Amino acid sequence: FEDQQRALARLYIIVPLVLFIIFVLLFGAFQSVGDTLLIMLNLPFALIGGTLALYFWRTNFNISAAVGYIAVFGVSVLNGVVLLSSIRQARQAGCSPRDAIARGCEIRFRPIVVSAVVAVIGFLPAALSQGIGAEIQRPLARVVIGGLISSTALTLLVLPAIYALRTGRSDESDPPPTEPAA
């Protein structure tokens, strides 16, 4: 019990630090606070899905579940980066914001959904396991499954909508964003 308390105390320090590092890295890549915050918006979606999965599966939160949240945060941010990069590339190619959003979503829909489905299928045996070590595997897998489902769906629905609202406030004739050098 004391080990679990110490591990949780470390996580209270590590998780905010990791989120800050993710923010800094995203800002470095996109050179835009707005785009960085837009991608970081995926994190609450993953948190909601993971929490609902724990609730519906009647699973307690523990260290394993916390690690699951960290994992699903990474995938969630990656999905946002992939989609937003595709939208920005379409804008650089001269598309209007609306067309860029449609094109980016069309191009990246299948890769984002397929990677989430494959991950969910891969985690199902661990989420449903009953054998030795199941008490460690189940919470992590259930958080990842719930977080992937919610963050993937909301990434494909909410991120483009908020991007459209953000760019809709600016003039349609604004120049497209410049993509950072790789």
Mean pLDDT, range 118-143, rounded to an integer: 93
Reported as a pLDDT band with limits 50, 70 and 90, residue 15 is: confident
Measured distance CA(173)–CA(66) in Å, rounded: 45
> Tell me: the pLDDT tens digits for 69-106?
999 999 999 999 999 999 999 999 999 999 999 999 99
**CB neighbour class for 51 (10 Å; exposed up to 12, middle 13-18, buried from 19):** middle
Domain segments of the chain: what residues? 2-169
Measured distance CA(179)–CA(182) in Å, rounded: 9
Reported as a pLDDT band with limits 50, 70 and 90, residue 180 is: low
> Tell me: the pLDDT tens digits for 139-157?
999 999 999 999 999 999 9
Domain 2-169, CATH number (from 3.10.50.40, 1.20.1640.10, 1.20.1560.10, 3.40.50.880): 1.20.1640.10
Above pLDDT 90, what percent of the chain? 73
pLDDT (0 to 100) of residue 171: 47
Q: What is the DSSP letter of 180?
A: P
Between 97-128 and 134-169, two packed helices, what is the crossing angle to 10 degrees?
170
Above pLDDT 70, what percent of the chain? 92
- Mean predicted lDDT score pLDDT of the chain: 89
Under a CB-based contact definition with an 8 Å cutoff, are residues 22 and 81 in contact? no
Mean pLDDT, range 56-66, rounded to an integer: 91
